[in-house]
Amino acid sequence: MIDQKLQNLIDLDLSYNSLLLINTTIRNPNSSFPELETLKLVSCNLQGFPDFSRHRRQSTLSHLDLSNNQIHGEIPSWIWDIGHYGFLNYLNLSFNFLNKLEQPLPDQSFISTVLVLDLHSNILQGPIPVLPSLITACMDLSNNSFQSIIPSNIGDSLIINNYYSLSSNNLTGEIPQSICNAHSLEVLDLSNNSLSGAIPSCLANMDALTVLNLQGNHFVGRIPQDFQVGCILKTLDLSVNKLEGPLPTALANCKKLEVLNLGNNRINGAFPFWLASFADLRVLVLHSNRFAGHIRGYDVTNHSNFPKLQFIDLSSNNFTGNLPSEFFMQWTAMMADENETQSKIKHEALSSMVVPYAERYVGLETYYQDTVTVTIKGQEMVLTKILTIHTSIDLSNNGFQGEIPNVPGSLTSLCLLNLSHNALTGRIPSSLGNLQQLESLDLSSNKLGGEIPQQLASLTFLSVLNLSWNNLTGMIPKGTQFQTFSESSFQGNEGLCGAPLSRRKLLLARK
């Protein structure tokens, strides 16, 4: 028997436990809590749905979150009836084992007040559901098992949607032109599928779009050319496709860009120096393309070149000439002190705990998580939350020459520096010892000479070091951190000696 006072409950959150109450009273919530508006049963090891079927026409429920449970099978039809007869505006069934959507789906009236419909990370199969033109701010069908083409009329069903994700499914075919009828879309994520053909040019001039992620597909042809003055894109991720040709000059209209990821394509031309004036650009990834020439053409008198840049990856292109020391001097976002860096990390961690993933349906681009891939010791690692907690410079596998400038030593919040597989000469700057936040340093496969600076031994956060295949000489610096690295970190330097090189190497050095 439920206490009379509890019958007046409006909000009930029993998440992260498996209390007996869940298996008894919550089996029929409307009988126990007739005034209930919010019900959260996240991570409760539920095997099935609570039963609203008898009282769905009287339901007051507006917020239902059953995410991260063990619910299998089909989504029951009475779920949609709650929306039809009640005021359901938030439905989260993500991270379960649901494998079927009712077919055919209910008509337009079934869920006319839903703001968020989150079904991501299930095992839903079959064709992509085309729902009526709903008042939905967020529809997330990502990380499922849909195997089909995107319906040709999909855009007509998303006219007033703000967020739409089909990422990480098994979709094939092309993006229908109708997608551009979804004029309210702020976030469109079709990444990690097997979509092909050309990218519809109309995606370049959708008025509300702030995030366009088409990463990890098979798109061909050129990047759309029609970016308009006033473009408000903040994230453009077209990486891991087969795009070719130069960058469109019209992309210069998208001055609000924070993340530009074009890695792993066939894009050619000179370094896009005009990006230096983008005041909010934090992430620039051009790796594994066909860019060539010197990194120059910018105004060296302009002290606002890349003012917020925190992550740059130009690796595996055909860039030549000296390293762009003028740029390094102006990357002030990589010069934060240790306290500021740690504050950013803590703030980001707390923010991610306070607000659930799909519940932030006001300003939808704020909960979209940008990701990039970095390569450390030949292993790829996917980083998320990169805008606030990770700083990285990767200029590896190009044709850069000359010496490493002292300037990188001023980038005191840098986490990763990779200059490997170039033709760099001279000595390793002792100023690199100032990079007290550095976790990975790779200078391998260059022509660097002289001794390893003793200052590098003070890098206490350094977990990856590769100085192999250079012309380094002398004793390896002694220090707690350096003795943790394997011999492979120093191989290919015939003039080096000292631990952790093998005993045989040590004996040869003494002779």
Report if residue 85 sits inside a domain. yes
CATH number for the domain spanning 240: value is: 3.80.10.10
pLDDT 10s digits, 30-50: 566 777 888 899 998 888 887
Say if residue 220 is in the same domain as residue 260.
yes
Instruction: State the pLDDT at residue 20.
Output: 52
- Choosing from 120, 145, 169, the residue where a domain stops is 120
Report if residue 246 sits inside a domain. yes
> How many degrees, rounded to 5, is the angle at CA 319 between CA 318 and CA 321?
135
pLDDT band at residue 395 under the 50/70/90 scheme: very high
Report if residue 183 sits inside a domain. yes
Report if residue 243 sits inside a domain. yes
Cβ contact 413:387 at 8 Å: no
Instruction: State the pLDDT at residue 236.
Output: 96
Instruction: State the pLDDT at residue 104.
Output: 54
pLDDT 10s digits, 65-89: 999 999 998 888 777 766 555 567 8
Calpha distance 66→93 (Å, rounded): 5
**Helices in 261-385 by DSSP H: which ranges?**
325-328, 338-354
Report if residue 201 sits inside a domain. yes
- Choosing from 241, 269, 297, the residue where a domain stops is 269
Element of type H or E holding 281: none
**Helices in 359-449 by DSSP H: which ranges?**
386-389
**Cβ partners under 8 Å of residue 356, min gap 6:** 65, 92
Say if residue 146 is in the same domain as residue 203.
yes
Instruction: State the pLDDT at residue 376.
Output: 60
pLDDT 10s digits, 435-464: 989 999 999 999 999 999 999 988 888 989
Say if residue 4 is in the same domain as residue 84.
yes
Cβ contact 176:150 at 8 Å: yes
Report if residue 186 sits inside a domain. yes
Say if residue 178 is in the same domain as residue 252.
yes
Domain residues for 230?
125-269
Say if residue 87 is in the same domain as residue 133.
no
Calpha distance 192→172 (Å, rounded): 11
What is the number of structural domains in the chain?
A: 2
pLDDT(344) > 50: no
pLDDT(328) > 90: no
Report if residue 99 sits inside a domain. yes
Report if residue 168 sits inside a domain. yes
